[in-house]
Amino acid sequence: MRFSAYFWMTFLFCALFLRMPLAQFEVNASEVGAIELDAIAATVRGQAITCYDVENSMRVLRQQLQRSGMTQLDHSQLYQRALDTQIMAQLQKHEAHKLGIKVAVAEVNGAIENVAKSNGLDVKQLKEALKAQGVSFDDYRENLEKRMLNNKLIDIAVRGRLKISDEAMREYYRKYLANPKPVREIRLAQIFIGVASGSGAASVQTKQRNIKSIRAKLLAGAGFTDAVTLYSQAPDASSGGDMGWFSPGGISPAFAEVFQLPVGGYTHIIRSPAGFHIVKVQEERWKEPELGESHDEIHARHILLKVPERADEAIRAKIMDRAQNIARDMQNADDESFATRAKEMSQGPSAIKGGDLGWFKRGQMVPAFEKAAFALKVGEVSGVVTSPFGLHIIRVIGKRHIDPNSFEARQGQIKQALSNAEMQTQVPRWLASLKAKSVITKQSCPQLERMKAPQAGASKAH
């Protein structure tokens, strides 16, 4: 059975953390004796990483490399790589807990259904397919949840702090979208060696020697994916360094040279604020311009009064009476007065902005709110509008008709492209800073460090 790239990217990410049977690891018991897998390999912010955790990561890394044709493996290198993988996983888990970030059961169920659907399967068939690959569904689910948690963490800790200026968006539109034409898109992969902010010259020079050594191995014929597995410190290392598809203007300026490369080519060493990169062009495609349909938009403010879920009829009537009084007061108010009242009384997240919801088109708001808002003229204020979120009083600030290729129509797409370009350097920088400011104590797993790495095709111990 064939699976989509999305399935395998998810599978490989999860595989780094799967707990596989110990019998699959070849051990010369006469040389090393019993393996103390409950021994501590490292502590991260007071949380222990056991030798058992490291051994699991080593095994999966070894199997990945052997499947790609590598049979001569540096055991000490595998150990260090596996340990670093566990340390970064622990750091991100701690940060997510600190920020109160969680993944709901329904979200995980939805993600599993999407994976199954993308492969033409239902969930039961996906479970059977995983079992045929030797993967426990419970482990798959657990590690998919970890990936989703990390994605949420990065969105909040990194993407949520990006500032994309209107000037930058308009420049992108002028250069790449104002005159629609087919564009070459390329799929990229990278090897990344991070340099923490404030690192001394000696540390930077060591990292630079490391990345030069890696590039020399590539020039000598080493596989790019194998090098990613062994060396790369980027979060995309778990999926072969895959960075996704990019079009001109949608990538960090530091990486712009990749658009001059053919498929299979890779860059010189690129220095970014986050560290050192080698980027490879994996695939290319020509994409025709996508034009949407013209549509109408409105710009509105609102005042929201929430109704507690368990409120009785008397409390609901009291909140409704209050909303009706506000609606009457605002009927002849100017925009400034309405914004002031929204700041004082609105209970929604837009209150701090005077209830400003920005521009929106049909389909972006709940039906009752949308119907009332689009029925108003500019400057008019609604009566009380009931929605699942509570009671609204709406004021329309402006209306406009959007051409499908206008800047306004493409603004969301442009912001996403520029944000993604920033994320290419900001995520590795954030991960490096997370590690640099944490207390990490590395100990030792002597038995693991002294083990002989089994060669491809070696028999398993029983």
pLDDT (0 to 100) of residue 408: 83
Using DSSP's 3-state secondary structure scheme, residue 47 falls into: strand
> By the 8 A CB rule, do 417 and 172 touch?
yes
- Sketch the domain layout of the chain as residue ranges: 5-157, 182-291+425-436, 295-402
Q: Which residue numbers in the chain have pLDDT < 50?
A: 1-35, 452-462
Residue 372 to residues 298, 348, 396, 399, Cα–Cα distance (Å): 12, 18, 10, 14
User: In the sheet where 385-387 sits, what is the strand order?
Assistant: 356-361, 295-305, 390-402, 385-387
In CATH terms, are 5-157 and 295-402 the same topology? no
Q: What is the pLDDT of residue 69?
A: 61
pLDDT score for 71: 60
Q: Which CATH class is domain 182-291+425-436?
A: alpha beta
Longest dimension (CA), the chain: 90
pTM of the predicted protein model: 0.61
Condensed to tens digits (0 to 9), the pLDDT of residues 438-455 reads: 899 988 887 776 654 444
Rounded Cα distance between 209 and 3, Å, is 39
pLDDT value, residue 365 = 93
CATH class of the 295-402 domain in this structure: alpha beta
CATH topology of domain 5-157: Triger factor/SurA peptide-binding fold (1.10.4030)
The predicted pLDDT at position 459 comes to 35
